[in-house]
Structure formats: C-alpha cells, structure tokens
C-alpha cells in the first residue's frame, strides 16, 4: 500500500524510541549485520545525531548521512581506544561497536564500559553493540536487547525480483521465469531466516543451475539453504531425500500429514488457518519414527533441523538452559523448518523428579514447554520417543503438539510394502519374489529388521556368486530374533500405556 512504512523504517522507529529513552547500552545479536547497520543508520538520520562505527579491523570512524565512513579516530585492534574516545567525547552521539563481546576478558575494558553507564545519560550518548554471538552474561545485564529480526516476506520478494532482473540484464544467455504466484510464495517462504546477501546467493545459484527460475528449482533452493546453514550449535541440518512412498504402512499418519501439507502457505494463513505445530511419535524402536521426520521435510519442501538432546547438557550452571534457548532461537531464525527432536525422553527423562539432577531437567523441560506453547514461528516439530512414560503428562497436552501417534510393529500388509521398498531400492523387482510369504515369516519384525534382512541376504548371495532369491531372504529372516520377541514384556507395556492415550499411526490397526 502507498505510504506504508518499510520494515527497516519501523525498526528504526523502535530503536529511536530506545535511544531517546536514554538507554546507554543497546545489544543487537544477529548474523545479519548488514540489516542491523541499516536500522542503526536510519535511526541516526531520524534523530539527527552523529554516528560513529568501530570494528577491530577498521578502528573508530564517523559515518556521514550517506553511510560513508570518514577518517580513523581510534586505531584498529584496540577496543580500549574506542571506549576512551567515547568517554572523552561530550557530544550527543550514537556509537556502534561490532563484535566487542570476546574482548570483555580485559578487566580495564570492562571498567571503562561500566564507567560509561554513568556518563551516557548526561551526554545523551548511546552505545549499540552488534554481535553475531551472545554477549557474556555479566555484560548482557547492562544492555537492552533489540531484535532486528530477519527480512520479511516482502523484502525477500524484492530481493528475488531484483536478483532475477540483475542476472537477466548481465547474462549472455537468455534467462526465463516460469513461476506462478503460488510458486513464488513457496519460494519466499522457504527463504525466510536468511539474510539479504544469503537470499541473493541462493536465488543466483538456482537461476544459474538451469538459466531459469521454475517450480522445479525449489528442491535446489531447500538444499542450498540447508548447506548454507550447516551445523549450528545443538542443531544439525539433515538432508531429507525421502518421500511418503519410502515408508510402508502408517497410512493414518500419512493421511494426517497430507491434509496439513499446505498449512504454512500464505493462502492458508489468509484462510484463517493456524500453522501446524507438530506431532509426537511414540513407538517400538525401528518402526520408522525418525524416517517420518525426513519424509515430512521432503514432502513439505522444508529444511530439516535435528536437535541433539545430548549436546544440550553442559557442566556449568546455567549453560544447559542457555544452550536450549540458543538452539530454539536459531530454529526461529531459520523458519520455516521441520524441527526434529529425536528420542526426546533421553533429554528430559528426569523432568518428573527434582532430585535426580538438582532440578536441571525440570528447568530445561519447562523452557521447552513454554516455547512450544508460545512461539508463533512457522516451525513444525517432530518429536520421537521409544518410552514416554517417564515424561510429565504436560508434554501431551493439546497445544504443545497437534497429535500424539503410536507407531506399532508393521502388520502383514505393511511388511509386504517394506520388503518391496527395500528390494526396489537395491535394483530388484519385488514381483519376482514371494513377498507375501516372506512377510508372513517375518511376523513381529520391525521395519529396520526387515531392511537388515534384505541387506544381509544381499551379502550372502553376493558371497557365493548367486542372485538374491527367496531362499536367501527366508534364511536371514529365520536367523533373526526380532526385538519385539526378545523384549516382549517392554513392548507389551508400551502398547498398554499408549492405549487410549495415542492415535494409531496405521489406520488398519488398533492399540491393544
């Protein structure tokens, strides 16, 4: 709409208010430094005050109204020199200090920083810290946190359009575009959580891949985003190269996911639909719970992030909670994503007892539950568990997850599908095997055990120079003692707990 303020202008208004309120120290923690710089420069122009900028490589320089730096006023490599300049300068001004956090190990620097707290309001000086990593706790207490966020959908659309026009203008080859409004919305949604520079790189890569921008480029964009994000602390970017056809059975779960597939689109939001929040999958080990997380990400064309609970716990007080909060903030920044919390019971198994670990699991669990209830980011959570009985019942309350599914051992039909899938993956035609008889012989086998039977049969046939046959598969099946038989009591107990508490993942089965 004409006259509507841009996101940068709205952010600069909010930052200007903080500055006028005489906040001496303002902290901006972001990987998108360029965006933070634009917001600060816009606020300085709005307030009509001088703007200074310091970094360890370029020193302290005054920035003019066009964003051009002047001569160096405090030499590089010495943050103390920049703070001494601020301490001695009595004019009203805004000072941007970049990546100062690691330098706070210097006691003299810390003292200078604290001294500024008393003189800042008198001179109307404001120090803005722009850091890619969280500040030390003792410094964070003195600052007011300001979020610049990530580029909005409108900003990303502008970047995609301008990047396409620039490449089309400069390229010696013809560049075409064959995307509809719906395709464009999906591409823009996928690019959320990236900086402007990253969006330009990903879109440029997609265009140069085939010298056109089409709906077929979406998987390339998803993979480029995954590679760009890489591993981030407790979050691991996982390749999702599966489809629903790669899972045998679980028809009820597949149907549920299929209905909600478009729930993250702008069209669904306009319709009044709240974005799906996630599912909790409890079940027998080896029955495809983890595979479902990859299938959701692949089918919905969303990046997949795995939260490793084992990395969360640290030896120092407060670090574990901070690790979890940092991981959740990273997931928010990368949204829309599928967040996979694998074996959630291992991270919070002591949450029901304050004596097991001094209450740490309780605090961690409370942090996770509050975030799951309150966050409004396009994040779909897939949590898997082999034994949820040790977890507090609050986890399964409506609002945390959309549904709780129980994944049981595959029945006859599902076992046939799973055997056919694994034979097909290895270049064998399932029609040439007595799949029904093999599935009958493999009663009580999990999906993982069926896959292992096919793999072992392949090795056996190869070792003797034969083609794999029903005899090789049957021999491996008879040689295997399935986990459901070896641990029949625990499987029975798991089924008993899930009855009347969970929805069967396979519509052909009931929990009994």
Among residues 212, 229, 246, the one where a domain terminates is 229
386 lies in the same domain as 257: yes
Is 510 inside any structural domain? Answer: no
Q: What's the pLDDT score for residue 511?
A: 56
288 lies in the same domain as 362: yes
CATH number at residue 217: 1.10.8
242 lies in the same domain as 381: yes
The position carrying tokens 């399935």 is 482
Q: What's the pLDDT score for residue 121?
A: 67
The range of the structural domain enclosing residue 375 comes to: 237-407
CATH number at residue 102: 3.40.50.300
Please report how many Cα atoms fall inside a 13 Å half-sphere around the Cα of residue 365, on the Cβ side: 23
pTM of the model: 0.67
CATH number at residue 452: 1.10.8.60
Q: What's the pLDDT score for residue 315?
A: 46
Among residues 145, 166, 187, the one where a domain terminates is 145
Which pairing describes strands 503-504 and 403-407: parallel, antiparallel, or unpaired?
A: parallel
Q: Are 445 and 453 in contact (CB under 8 A)?
A: yes
| DSSP bridge pairs for 340 | 306, 382
The whole-number mean pLDDT for each consecutive block of 10 residues of the chain, a chain of 512 residues, reads 73 94 91 90 94 93 89 85 87 92 89 81 84 83 88 86 91 86 81 84 90 86 74 68 78 88 81 88 84 83 79 57 76 82 72 54 78 84 79 71 88 92 92 94 92 93 92 93 86 83 74 56
Please give the sequence-ordered ranges of beta strands (E in DSSP) within 389-480, or none if there are none: 403-407
Cα–Cα distances (Å) from 211 to 223, 338, 458, 496, in that order, read 18, 30, 42, 57
Q: What's the pLDDT score for residue 306?
A: 86
73 lies in the same domain as 35: yes
Tell me, what DSSP letter sits at residue 172?
S
Among residues 145, 170, 200, the one where a domain terminates is 145
Which pairing describes strands 278-283 and 403-407: parallel, antiparallel, or unpaired?
A: parallel
Q: What is the 3-state secondary structure (H, E, C) of 466-497?
A: CCCCHHHHHHHHHHCCCHHHHCHHHHHHHHHH
38 lies in the same domain as 113: yes
Number of domains present in the structure of the chain = 4
């Amino acid at each position: 709409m004409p006259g509507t303020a841009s996101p940068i202008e709205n952010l600069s208004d909010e930052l200007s208010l903080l500055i006028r309120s005489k906040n001496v120290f303002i902290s901006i923690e972001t990987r998108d430094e360029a965006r933070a710089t634009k917001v600060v420069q816009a606020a300085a122009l709005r307030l009509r005050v001088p703007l200074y900028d310091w970094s360890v490589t370029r020193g302290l320089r005054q920035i003019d109204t066009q964003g051009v730096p002047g001569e160096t006023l405090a030499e590089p490599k010495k943050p103390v020199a920049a703070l001494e300049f601020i301490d001695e300068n009595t004019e009203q001004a805004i000072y941007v200090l970049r990546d100062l956090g690691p330098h706070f190990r210097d006691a003299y620097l810390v003292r200078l920083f604290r001294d500024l707290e008393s003189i800042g309001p008198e001179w109307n000086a404001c120090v803005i810290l722009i850091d890619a990593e969280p500040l030390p706790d003792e410094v964070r207490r003195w600052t007011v946190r300001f979020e610049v966020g990530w580029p909005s959908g409108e900003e990303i659309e502008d970047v995609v359009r301008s990047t396409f026009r620039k490449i089309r203008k400069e390229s010696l080859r013809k560049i075409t575009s064959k995307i509809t409004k719906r395709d464009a919305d999906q591409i823009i949604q996928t690019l959320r959580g990236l900086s402007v520079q990253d969006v330009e790189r990903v879109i440029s890569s997609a265009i140069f891949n085939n010298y056109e921008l089409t709906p077929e480029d979406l998987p390339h964009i998803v993979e480029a985003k995954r590679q760009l994000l890489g591993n981030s602390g407790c979050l691991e970017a996982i390749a999702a190269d599966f489809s629903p056809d790669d899972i045998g059975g679980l028809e009820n779960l597949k149907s549920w996911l299929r209905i909600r597939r478009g729930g993250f689109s702008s069209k669904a939001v306009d319709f009044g639909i709240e974005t799906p929040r996630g599912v909790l999958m409890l079940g027998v080990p080896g029955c495809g719970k983890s595979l479902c997380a990859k299938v959701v990400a692949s089918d919905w064309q969303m990046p997949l992030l795995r939260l490793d609970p084992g990395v969360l716990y640290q030896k120092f007080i407060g670090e574990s909670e901070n690790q979890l909060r940092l991981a959740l903030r990273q997931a928010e920044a990368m949204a829309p994503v599928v967040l996979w919390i694998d074996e959630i019971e291992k991270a919070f198994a002591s949450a029901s007892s304050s004596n097991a670990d001094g209450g740490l699991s309780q605090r961690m669990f409370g942090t996770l539950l509050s975030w799951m209830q309150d966050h409004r980011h396009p994040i779909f959570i897939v949590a898997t568990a082999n034994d949820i009985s040790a977890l507090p019942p609050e986890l399964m309350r409506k609002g945390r997850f959309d549904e709780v599914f129980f994944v049981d051992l595959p029945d006859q039909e599902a076992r046939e599908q799973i055997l056919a899938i694994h034979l097909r993956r290895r270049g064998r035609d399932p029609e040439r095997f007595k799949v029904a008889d093999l599935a009958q012989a493999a009663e009580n086998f999990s999906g993982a055990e069926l896959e292992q039977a096919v793999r072992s049969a392949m090795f056996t046939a190869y070792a003797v120079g034969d083609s794999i046959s029903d005899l090789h598969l049957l021999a491996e099946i008879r040689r295997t003692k399935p986990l459901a038989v070896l641990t029949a009591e625990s499987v029975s107990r798991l089924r008993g707990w899930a009855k009347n508490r969970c929805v069967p993942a396979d519509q052909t089965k009931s929990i009994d």
